[in-house]
Structure 1
Amino acid sequence: MLVDAHAHLLPHDYPADAPECFPRMEPIDGDTARTLLFGALKFRARDVFFDAERRVEAQDASGVDVEVLSPMPPLLRYDLPPADGLSLARHVNEFAASLCRTHPQRLLGLGMVPLQDPESAAAELTAIRDQGLRGVEIASNIAGESIGDERFLPFFAEAARLGLAVFVHAMPTATDRLPPAAMGTYVVGLEGALAASSMVVGGTAAQCPDLRIAFSHAAGGYPLMLPRAQYFWGGSWNEEPVDLDRAVAPDDGPSPLEQARRFYYDSLVFDHRAIRYLVDLLGADRLLVGSDFPAMPREDPAARTLRAMNLPPDALRRITGENAFAWLGIDPPG
């Protein structure tokens, strides 16, 4: 069983009477693709983004059994007025639910919410659950605000109460520390690290211990920061017993590593050495297969690197399938 837990969808179109701030999907002459226009964004969207039969064909071609589909991240526009953000989210969620109903054993969907209005976002989670969607995708920052800020705590608490999974997708923000060309590479890694860190240092992870949350691209640089955080917390090297005499900022709460090991991480890190580190530090039960398909091409075949690492069979089985179902809170098939 191979589950791609990080794959994206785009609606085929939008209502003719949609607000001007909505995206548009324009046909391309002589092509099954469509052009997504959303503000300054212009993107050629292949039909596999919105055609269920093409998705299943693509799965079969790459050896994928199940995809977890989340909205293409540019749709997460937290700068929209809340009412418009809610209307957009509902349209995308309805499309996602409809797409997944065509092949419910192969396509599992996540919705989106207008998290610029945390109260509205939390209230919308019930509708997402009732549509048959398995969770919700959010960006790694909310218009520049940390997801670990206390004002978003009720949203995460409600997701945990409803048993919905959360997928945090790294989204670049404007920075003058790196050139624009780094937005999709280094800044994504920084964003993932900031998002995961904020959930711990902001207290959300400790207050929502049952929250099932996953981070794209292994939360960027976060796993490499954890041993230092562990030392500051408990004064230990290499996870030796706690030595509070050496601790810089002792805390009687859960350790940084304990909290990090409650999260899930997709293993889209592009190198077997990085995956090995994630397995060693976080555990094989915390990793998911992810591809960013079809925004990015999958390995050929999917999970080729993972399968070539000679991981123990039980570890490989967890990473390639079982962990995704545990994150989503559903039983694996058969």
Structure 2
Amino acid sequence: MIIDAHAHLLPHDYPEDAPACFPHMEPIEGSTDRLLVFDQMRFPAKEVFWQAERRLEAMDASGVDAEVVSPMPPLLRYDLPAADGLALSRHVNDVAAELSSHAPDRIIALGMVPMQDPDAATAELAAIKEQGLAGVEIASNILGSSIGDEKFLPFFQELERLDLPLFVHAMPSPSDRLPFSAMGTYVVGIEGMYAAASLILGGTAAACPNLKISFSHAAGGFAMMLPRANYFWGGSWNEEPRDLGRAVMPDDGPSPLEYARRFYYDSMVFDRRTIQYLVDLLGADRLLVGSDFPAMLREEPAAKTLKSMDLPDDQWQDIAWRNAMRWLGREAADLPLAEAVATA
């Protein structure tokens, strides 16, 4: 059993009366693909982004039993006027719900909200749950503001109250510190790290201990920084007992590592050595399978690198599907092949 907890969807089209700032899809001659046009973006999108039958065929071909599909990250455009951002979110959410309805046990859809208006985003969460969507995706920063900023705390508290899982996808912030060519590489690592760290440092993790949250690409460089953060908190190396005489910023709360072990992380980090570090530091019970499909090609078969690591069976089962179910708050009976996994 494999659940791909990081896959994406795109609408086939947008309403004819949509605001001019909406994206639109243009036909590509001689192809079932369509061209996503969104300001300067031109992205050729394959039919599998929106066509349920193609999606299921692709899953079967890769050995994936279920996908958690979230809006393609460029749709998370927080620079739109708030009303237009809400309208775009509702259209994408309708598309996500319709896609999932074709095979709700295999296509598990997340929605989106207009985070440029935290109050509107918070109010929209109840509608997302009522619509049957599994949770919500947001970007790693909101127009340059960390998601751990106190202005977003009511949003996270409402997520926790409604028991809705959250997926945080790394996205660039308004900055010219790195060239555009780094947007898909180094920026992913930096932004993921900022997002996860901000939830700890800003107090959200303490205020929302039952928040179910996952980060794309293992929250980038976050795991590499955690031992240093733990030293500043407790004054010891290698997570040994605290030495407050050495601690730089001691406090009485949980350690940074304890907070980090409440989060989930998809393991799409492209290297078995990095995955092993994540297992050793954070635990196999924190990791998920992820692919970015169809924006990126999956390994064939899915999770090939994970399978090559010869992990103990309990760790493999956790990463392959059980952690995704815990993050989503679902039971094994909700899955395809439920009988096969009932005793796993």
TM-score class, shorter-chain normalisation, is over 0.9
Distance in 2 between residues matched to 1:58 and 1:40, nearest whole Å: 30
Partner SS for 1:64:
coil
> 2:62 & 2:184 partners in 1: Cα distance?
25
Task: Tell me the TM-score normalized by structure 1.
Answer: 0.99
> 1:157 & 1:251 partners in 2: Cα distance?
23
CA drift at 1:282 = 0.3
Please give the alpha-carbon distance, in whole angstroms, between the structure 1 residues aligned to 2:72 and 2:178: 24
1:69 partner letter? V
Report what 1:144 is aligned to: 144
Would you identify which runs of 4 or more consecutive aligned residues in structure 1 move more than 6 Å? none
Cα deviation 1:64-112 (Å, max 9, x = unaligned): 0000000000000000111000000000000000000001111000000
Q: Residue 54 of structure 1: CA displacement?
A: 0.2
Is residue 25–residue 34 contact of structure 2 (8 Å, CA) maintained in 1?
yes
TM-score by length of 2: 0.96
Residue 27 of structure 1 and its aligned partner are, at CA, apart by 1.4
Residues 1:54 and 2:26 are matched in the alignment: no
Deviations 1:42-64 (A, max 9, x none): 11000000100000000001000
Q: Give the match for residue 234 of structure 1.
A: 234
Mind listing any 5+ residue stretches in structure 2 that lack a counterpart?
Answer: 339-344
Give the Cα–Cα distance (whole angstroms) in 2 for the partners of residues 2 and 63 of structure 1.
Answer: 7
Letter of the 2:262 partner, please give it. Answer: R
CA distance in 2, matches of 1:34, 1:96: 18
> What's 2:301 paired with?
301
Shift of 1:173: 2.3
Q: Give, in whole Å, the separation in 1 of the partners of 2:41 and 2:110.
A: 23
Give the partner amino acid of 1:173.
S
**Could you list the per-position Cα deviations for residues 116-144 of structure 1 after superposition, in whole angstroms to 9, with x for gaps in the alignment?**
11110011001111111110000000011
CA distance in 2, matches of 1:24, 1:175: 26
Amino acid in the other structure paired with 2:18: A
Deviation for aligned residue 1:175: 3.0
Aligned to 2:310: 310
- Counterpart in 1 of 2:341? none
How far 1:29 sits from its partner (Å)? 1.8
Question: Following the alignment from structure 1 to structure 2, what is the Cα–Cα distance between the partners of residues 98 and 177?
Answer: 40
Partners of 1:36 and 1:59 lie apart in 2 by 23
The residue aligned with 2:266 is 266
Residue 322 of structure 1 corresponds to which residue in structure 2? 322
Could you say what secondary structure the match of 2:325 adopts? helix
Q: CA deviation at 1:184?
A: 1.1
**For residues 325 and 130 of structure 1, what CA distance do their matches in structure 2 show?**
20
RMSD, aligned CA: 0.7
Inter-partner Cα distance in structure 2 for 1:297 and 1:262: 29
Native 8 Å contact 2:218 2:266 kept in 1: yes
Q: CA offset at residue 299 of structure 1?
A: 0.3
Is residue 143–residue 174 contact of structure 2 (8 Å, CA) maintained in 1? no
Q: Where does residue 74 of structure 2 map in the other structure?
A: 74
The answer to whether 1:253 aligns with 2:257 is no
What is the CA distance between 1:182 and its match in structure 2?
Answer: 1.0
Q: Secondary structure, in 3 states, of the residue corresponding to 1:270?
A: coil
SS in structure 1 opposite 2:25? strand
Q: Which runs of 5+ in 1 are unaligned?
A: none
Query: Which residue of structure 1 aligns with residue 288 of structure 2?
Result: 288
* Partner SS, residue 123 of structure 1: helix
Query: Equivalent residues in 2 for 1:183-222 (5 A)?
Result: 183-222=183-222
Question: 2 CA distance for matches of 1:175 and 1:163?
Answer: 34
CA deviation map 1:20-39 (0-9, x unaligned): 01110111122111110111
Q: CA deviation at 1:162?
A: 0.4
- Letter matched to residue 82 of structure 2: P
Structure 2 counterpart of 1:64, one-letter code:
V
CA apart distance, 1:176: 3.0
SS at match of 1:211: coil
In structure 2, the residue corresponding to 1:109 is in which secondary structure?
strand
Structure 2 counterpart of 1:12, one-letter code: H
The code of the aligned residue for 2:68 comes to V
Inter-partner Cα distance in structure 1 for 2:171 and 2:231: 29
Q: Which residue of structure 2 aligns with residue 122 of structure 1? A: 122
CA distance in 1, matches of 2:279, 2:231: 20
Cα distance in 2 for residues equivalent to 1:163 and 1:69: 18
What secondary structure, in the 3-state scheme, does the structure 2 residue paired with 1:233 have?
A: helix
In structure 2, the partner of 1:175 is: 175
Q: What is the Cα deviation at residue 178 of structure 1? A: 2.1
The number of aligned residues is: 334
Which residue of structure 2 lines up, in the alignment, with residue 97 of structure 1? Answer: 97
